[in-house]
Structure 1
Amino acid sequence: MWTISLSVLPIFLLLVCGNLLRRNGFPGGDFWHNADRVVYWVLFPALLFYNTTTAPFNDAIVGIYAAALIGGLVVTGLVSLALVWLFKIPDPIGGSIFQGASRHNTFIAFAVANYMFGDQGLLLAAVATAVLVPPTNLVCVSVLVGFRGASGTMSLKRRLGREIIRNPLLMAIGAGAILNFTGIGPIPVINDFAGILAKAALPVALLSVGAGLRIKSIHTGALYVTISTLCKLLVFPAVIAATVVFFGLHGMAAMVLIIYGTVPTASSGYALAKLLGADAEVMAGIITVQTLLAMITLPLSLTLAAHYFMTP
C-alpha cells in the first residue's frame, strides 16, 4: 500500500500545488486559462503523438484493451442514463452526470502509468488512450447534443463532425497510429521535437487540473455528484477488472488498464458542458469531488490490483 501510495502522491501534490497557486492569484491574469489551452492544443497532443508512434499495437493487447475500456464505457454510460431517467433528472444535469460517469482524466492516468512503470507504462497508456478517447468523445458529444444541443441549428451529424475535426487529441492519436501501423515509425526531428514538448505535458497538465478544481462547487447537487461518482469510481473499474480477469491478463498490461478504470473524470468535461448546454456548475462539482476522492481510492485500488495481478 505504502509503495503505491508514495508513487502516486507526487501526482496529487501537483494538483494541490496548482490549486493553491490559482487560489492565491499566482501568477495572475489569464495564466491558468492559457495554460489549459497550451496543454490541450500543444503539449498533450505532442505526448500522445510521440508515444502512439511506438506504442505496442499488437492484436492481443488492442483487443483486450478495447473490450475492457469500451465495455466499461458502454456499461457505465447506460447505468448513468438509467439512473438519470429513474430519478427524473433534468436533461442539462443529466448530460453532466453522463460526462462525469464516462469520461476519464487522461493526464492523471498517463502520470500514474509513468511513475509506476516508466516508459513502458507510457507506451501502454498510449494504447489505452488511443482505444478510449475516440469513442468517449463521440459518445459524450452525442449524448449532450441529444439532451440539449439538438435544439439549436446544428444537427447531431454536423456537431459530431465539427468536434472530431477540431479535437487535437484525436488528430495526434490518428497521426501517430498511421505512422505506427504503416511501419514508417518515428520521423527524425519531428519525433524529437514532439518528445521535448511531451516532457512538459504532464507536470503542466496536472498543475492546470489542480488549478481548475472548484472547492466551493462540492456542495452542488449531492444526488447528481453521487450518481456520477459511483458510476465512475465503482461501476467503471468493476467492469474493467472483470474483463481483465476474464482474459487472464496479468502484470503491467493489466495494471495500466486498472489505472484507466480508477482515475477520476476529465476536467475538460466542464468546457464541453458549457459549450453544449449541460449544467456546468454540476459538472464542476463532479470533477472536484471525484478528483479529491481519487486521492484515496486510486492508491487503494492499485494496491489491491497489484496484489492480484502482479503476483507470479
Structure 2
Amino acid sequence: MESITGALGPLFLLILLGAVLGYWRWPSDTFWPQMERLIYFVLFPAMLVSTLATADVSRVPVGRLALVLLGAMALFGLLLWRLRGWLQLTPAAFTSVFQGAVRFNTYVGVAGAAALHGSLGATTAAVAVALMVPVVNVMCVASFVAAGTFGGASVGKSAMALIKNPLILACLAGIGLNLTNVGLPGWSQDTVELLGRAALPLGLVAVGVALRPAALLRIDRGVLATNGVKLLLMPALVLAFTWILQLDPVSRDVALLFAALPTATSAYILARQLGGDAELMAAIITGQTLLAMLTLPFWLQLVS
C-alpha cells in the first residue's frame, strides 16, 4: 500500500493545491481558464505525441486493452440508459449522470500510470487515451442527442468539435509518426518532450482549481448512481475482464486505474453548452475527485 500511496499521493496534493488556489481565486479569475486552454490545446497534446511517436507500442496488448476498457464503458452506458426511467431524472440531469459514469480524468490517469510504472505505464496510458477519448466523446454527445436537450443546430457544432478535438488529433499524429517510423527527428523530440512535461503537473493543479466544494451539498439519486457506477462497479467489471483476458500486470493496473478515475472536469463545460444540468455536473465532478483519493488506492492495492 505504501508504494501505491507514495505514487498517487503527490498527484492528489497537486489537486488539493489547485483547490486552494481556486478558493482564493489566485492569481485572478481569468488566469486559470486561459491556462486550461493552454494545457488542453498545446501541452497535453504535446505529451501524447511525444509518448506515442517514439514508444514501443508492441509492448502494449492493444486489442485486449480495448476490449476491457471499451467493453466496460459500453456496458455501463447501455445499463444507465435502460435504467433512466427508474432513476426518475430530468433529461438534463440524466446527461450529467451519464457523463459522470463514463468520462474519465485524463490528467490523473496518465500521471498515475507514469507514477506507478514509469515509461511503460505512460505508454500504456497514452494508448488507453487514444482508444477511449473518441469513443467516450461520441457516447456523451449521443446521450445529449437522445435526451433531446438541444436543437439540431448544435449537433453539427458538436460533431465539428469532436473532429477537431486536440487529444484525438494528437493521438492520431503520434500513432502516424510511430507507424511510419518518422518519429520526432532532430530537435523536435526534445522540444515536444519539454512541452509535454509541463502538462501533467499543471493539469492536476487545474483539476483542483475546477472543483466546486459548495456543489457537494447536492446529494440525490443521480449523484449516488453515477458515483456508484464510476468508482465501484466500473473498476470491479474491468478487474474481472483483465483477469478473464489475462492482461499483464502493467496493462491490468492501467486499465483498472482508468476505470476507477473520477470524471473529467471538461464534462461541466459540455453540460453547459449542450443543455445538461451543470450544477449536478459540478457536484459529480467535485465529489468523485475527492472520493477517488480513497477509492483509487483501494482498487490498486487490491491487485498489487
> Normalising by structure 1, what TM-score?
0.93
Partner residue of 1:161?
A: 159
1:260-271 to structure 2, matched below 5 A, reads 260-271=258-269
Q: What SS does structure 1 have at the residue aligned with 2:54?
A: coil
1:273-312 to structure 2, matched below 5 A, reads 273-306=271-304
Q: Could you give the per-residue CA deviations for residues 139-162 of structure 1, whole angstroms, max 9, x where no partner exists? A: 1111123223552434x4x34531
CA displacement at 1:186 relative to structure 2: 2.5
Answer yes or no: is 1:29 the counterpart of 2:29.
yes
Partner residue of 2:49?
A: 49
CA displacement at 1:190 relative to structure 2: 2.6
Partner residue of 1:214?
A: 212
Q: Equivalents in 2 of 1:70, 1:224: separation in Å?
A: 23
Structure 1 moving runs of 4+ over 6 Å: none
Q: Equivalents in 2 of 1:46, 1:136: separation in Å?
A: 21
CA displacement at 1:13 relative to structure 2: 0.5
Partner residue of 1:204?
A: 202
Q: Could you give the per-residue CA deviations for residues 117-160 of structure 1, whole angstroms, max 9, x where no partner exists? A: 11221111111111111111111111123223552434x4x345
Partner residue of 2:228?
A: 230
Q: Equivalents in 2 of 1:175, 1:54: separation in Å?
A: 12
User: Structure 1: where are the runs of 5+ without partners?
Assistant: 307-312
Report if the CA contact (8 A) 1:76-1:232 is conserved: no
Segment of structure 1 superposing worse, 74-83 or 224-233:
74-83
Answer yes or no: is 1:85 the counterpart of 2:93.
no
Q: What SS does structure 2 have at the residue aligned with 1:290?
A: helix
Q: Equivalents in 2 of 1:126, 1:234: separation in Å?
A: 24
Q: Equivalents in 2 of 1:123, 1:219: separation in Å?
A: 38
Compared CA separation, residues 188 and 137, structure 1 to 2 (3 A): farther
Q: Equivalents in 2 of 1:128, 1:9: separation in Å?
A: 22
Partner residue of 1:257?
A: 255
Q: What SS does structure 2 have at the residue aligned with 1:218?
A: helix
Q: Equivalents in 1 of 2:82, 2:214: separation in Å?
A: 28
CA displacement at 1:229 relative to structure 2: 0.7
Q: Equivalents in 1 of 2:256, 2:56: separation in Å?
A: 18
Q: Equivalents in 2 of 1:189, 1:65: separation in Å?
A: 33
Q: Equivalents in 2 of 1:106, 1:140: separation in Å?
A: 16
Aligned residue-pair number: 304
Compared CA separation, residues 215 and 150, structure 1 to 2 (3 A): closer
1:96-245 to structure 2, matched below 5 A, reads 96-154=96-154, 156=155, 158-245=156-243
Q: Could you give the per-residue CA deviations for residues 264-286 of structure 1, whole angstroms, max 9, x where no partner exists? A: 11111011111111111100100
Q: Equivalents in 2 of 1:55, 1:230: separation in Å?
A: 35
User: Structure 2: where are the runs of 5+ without partners?
Assistant: none
Q: Equivalents in 2 of 1:174, 1:150: separation in Å?
A: 30
Q: Equivalents in 2 of 1:171, 1:195: separation in Å?
A: 17
CA displacement at 1:220 relative to structure 2: 2.1
Q: Equivalents in 1 of 2:236, 2:165: separation in Å?
A: 29
CA displacement at 1:17 relative to structure 2: 0.4
CA displacement at 1:102 relative to structure 2: 0.2
Report if the CA contact (8 A) 1:75-1:236 is conserved: no
Q: Equivalents in 2 of 1:228, 1:261: separation in Å?
A: 13
Compared CA separation, residues 94 and 50, structure 1 to 2 (3 A): same
> Normalising by structure 2, what TM-score?
0.95
Q: Equivalents in 1 of 2:242, 2:24: separation in Å?
A: 43
Partner residue of 2:63?
A: 63
Report if the CA contact (8 A) 2:150-2:275 is conserved: no
Report if the CA contact (8 A) 2:92-2:149 is conserved: no
Q: Could you give the per-residue CA deviations for residues 238-287 of structure 1, whole angstroms, max 9, x where no partner exists? A: 22111110111232121111111111111110111111111111001000
Q: Aligned AA for 1:296?
A: L
Q: Equivalents in 1 of 2:268, 2:136: separation in Å?
A: 15
RMSD across aligned C-alpha pairs, in angstroms?
1.6
Report if the CA contact (8 A) 1:44-1:198 is conserved: yes
Segment of structure 1 superposing worse, 79-88 or 162-171:
79-88
